[in-house]
A and B are shown apart, each in its own frame.
Chain A
Amino acid sequence: MTPEQVLQIAAQGVAAATPYLLAALGETFGQRAGVFNLGVDGVMLMGAFGGFYVALQTGSPLLGVAVAMLIGALMGILMAVSSVTLKAPQGISGIGLYMFGLGLSTLLFETLVRSPVPLRTGFDRVPIPILSDLPILGNIAFNQNVMVYAAFLLVPMAWFVLNKTVFGLNIRAVGQNPQAADSLGINVDRVRYLALIIGGVLGGAAGASLSLAQTKIFQENMTNGIGFIAVALVYFGGWSPMGVMFGALLFSIVTTLQLWLQALGVQISPSLITMLPSVMTIVALIIAVRLYRTGTPAALGKPYRRDEA
């Protein structure tokens, strides 16, 4: 493998990390607030379809992303209503949300679009002047589409919001000890609603990045489980945006590497190479868990009831 090929793999892998990264960043907000949303894949599918359909009809991928984020917000509210207001078990609510998103996006696609068609007006690469000419980093970091830039810019932003703002402190507080937060006058339910809405918005954007930038197509169930991997990436990243980004990059670069190895004719069974990203992720997960012990938000997965405090 030539150095040039290594750089190409890295550039392709960075772009391919986008839907994982956006979805996992969104999930990080929910989980830091104590809500475990397994429905990300369904949110992504709704975002992918909504964004695709709007871009197909209007020719504007930006409008598509906006609609995808709005749909994501609504899906986040739906999750919040069932798991925060009605206190339904989070795992079951999430699976329900996933199935709802899968079913509705399929139904809408079959009714409104019917057959796969390519999107002529998706997000193409936008090389950033000067920076994209940099050796090595130029092509990897500065010759991507806007969804990629946005996703990676969100990493420091998410870190800042979670760690340096009052809102972030509230999120962490209701995720660690909702009783204590409540006694300090923080509205636990409202914070969890907002965290789930942020998660939905980013999940919708993740879906849109898939249908508007990465593939420029919509097909039913096109996420093929990316949302579930995103949930795992949150654990992998130790509930920190930087860790999540590292996990998303590792997963998608190794995935890209295995595609390149196959095309280069490396004589390994494709089934074996296909396992590579998952195996690498499990190994890294084991190492990561040993490295940082700050770990799980204490109230993760537990509906908060004031009377039980």
Chain B
Amino acid sequence: MNKRWIAFLMAAALVAALVLGGGAAQAQDKLRIALISPSAQNDLAWSQSMADALKAVQAELGADKVELTISENLFRVPDAAAAMRDYAAQGYDIVIAHGTQYGASMFEVAAEFPEVTFAWGTASDYGEEEGLTNVFAYEARAEEGGYVNGVMAALLSKSGVLGVVGPVNAGDAKLYIDGFTAGAKATKPDIDVKVIFTESFGDTAKATESAKTLISQGADVLTGSAQQVPGAITEIQAAKGFWFGTQTDQAAGWEDTVVCVQVFDWTGVIKEIIALREAGTLGGKAFAISLESGLTMKFNEKLSIPDAVKQAAEETINAIIAGEIIPPGSPRELEPAATPDN
């Protein structure tokens, strides 16, 4: 009797091992990616830029090859850190912490799970000092598209006043706004660029009130970054002005208002991270998307943009790529300027 029981148990164990082992093998075939984002994946801004890119990569490689999980609205760092640890413990291959604020917590979690690849941005620090080898960093040279938008905005403005609805004067937003201002001033030195910071990323009402204020003060072209801008775009739409955007395409719904959006396309970065991981490199590199690769100036096809404006934009894009124009905040500013031989 006992022997039969033992035999039965052994058989059961064998079956279980086959089933579970097979399951594990199957799971390992799939690349598992988790995204942790501070706002909603449909925020028309920062979070959506990464969510869209991940979905595009998943569609390209196949849903049977890539599993994608998104945890959104984790603006609070402790919540995000808990999610990171959770995903790493669940055996996810790549955990993307899509926010500058996540850095310190992410480094701690990355040290605990050396087999998991972590990526974060906006950042250029991949944890070398901390001795981490499983962290990638990524950032966008937002000042480049900001500069291009500034050139176009200056050309389109009739009042000579441009308005910026900014979240905070730091990070990605600062790069974009400083670039925008520089591009506008380079095009029309006497143009007035008015900037309001709401000191928040998600204050829709305050962003709307900021747009109203800027319009009252004569602005006929607005721009802004962060997920709080849809109310501001609606406001400049009602005033029959123009809007320039950044991070994610914002033209849908505002086809008569949005001129051009600097779109953060992270697909190249994600693909490279996947390729590096498959080749055995789990981290240790910083990526930057720029107009050369990854940043796309998406013109609104439904709006008739004057040829001169479009041409000025194209020329500016080429000049930035060639290094002839260096927007403020660009790392190229630190390099010795390429002076022609004399």
CB pair B196–A259 under 8 Å, yes or no, is yes
Proximity bits, B206-231, A CB within 8 Å = 1, else 0:
10111011101100000000011011
Stretch in contact with the other chain, from B24-32, B197-205, B270-278, B324-332: B197-205
Distance between Cα atoms of A307 and B213 in the complex (Å): 57
CB pair A270–B44 under 8 Å, yes or no, is no
A176 an interface residue at 8 Å Cβ cutoff? no
A179 an interface residue at 8 Å Cβ cutoff? no
Known contacts A110-B40, A115-B42, A115-B44: A12-B231 contact under CB 8 Å: no
Proximity bits, B167-211, A CB within 8 Å = 1, else 0:
001000000000000000000000000111111101111101110
Distance between Cα atoms of A263 and B44 in the complex (Å): 25
Distance between Cα atoms of A119 and B227 in the complex (Å): 17
Which residue in chain A gives the minimum CB-CB distance to B45?
Answer: A116
Specify which chain B residues have a CB less than 8 angstroms from the CB of A16 in the assembled complex: 205, 209
CB pair B44–A224 under 8 Å, yes or no, is no
Specify which chain B residues have a CB less than 8 angstroms from the CB of A256 in the assembled complex: 209, 213
Distance between Cα atoms of A115 and B253 in the complex (Å): 10
Stretch in contact with the other chain, from A65-73, A76-84, A208-216, A294-302: A208-216
A263-306 interface with B by 8 A CB criterion: 263-265, 270-271, 274
Specify which chain B residues have a CB less than 8 angstroms from the CB of A12 in the assembled complex: 209, 212-213, 216
Known contacts A12-B212, A110-B40, A220-B40: A116-B205 contact under CB 8 Å: no
CB pair B234–A118 under 8 Å, yes or no, is yes
Specify which chain A residues have a CB less than 8 angstroms from the CB of B198 in the assembled complex: 274
Distance between Cα atoms of A274 and B203 in the complex (Å): 12
Distance between Cα atoms of A284 and B236 in the complex (Å): 35
Main secondary structure of the interface of B (DSSP, over half): mixed
CB pair A263–B252 under 8 Å, yes or no, is no
CB pair B199–A219 under 8 Å, yes or no, is no
A255 an interface residue at 8 Å Cβ cutoff? yes
B254 an interface residue at 8 Å Cβ cutoff? yes
CB pair A215–B197 under 8 Å, yes or no, is no
Specify which chain A residues have a CB less than 8 angstroms from the CB of B216 in the assembled complex: 8, 12
CB pair A263–B204 under 8 Å, yes or no, is no
Which residue in chain A gives the minimum CB-CB distance to B257?
Answer: A118
Q: List 17 A-B contacts (CB under 8 A).
A: A106-B40, A115-B252, A116-B253, A219-B43, A219-B202, A219-B204, A219-B231, A224-B203, A226-B205, A255-B206, A256-B213, A259-B209, A262-B194, A262-B197, A264-B217, A270-B169, A270-B196
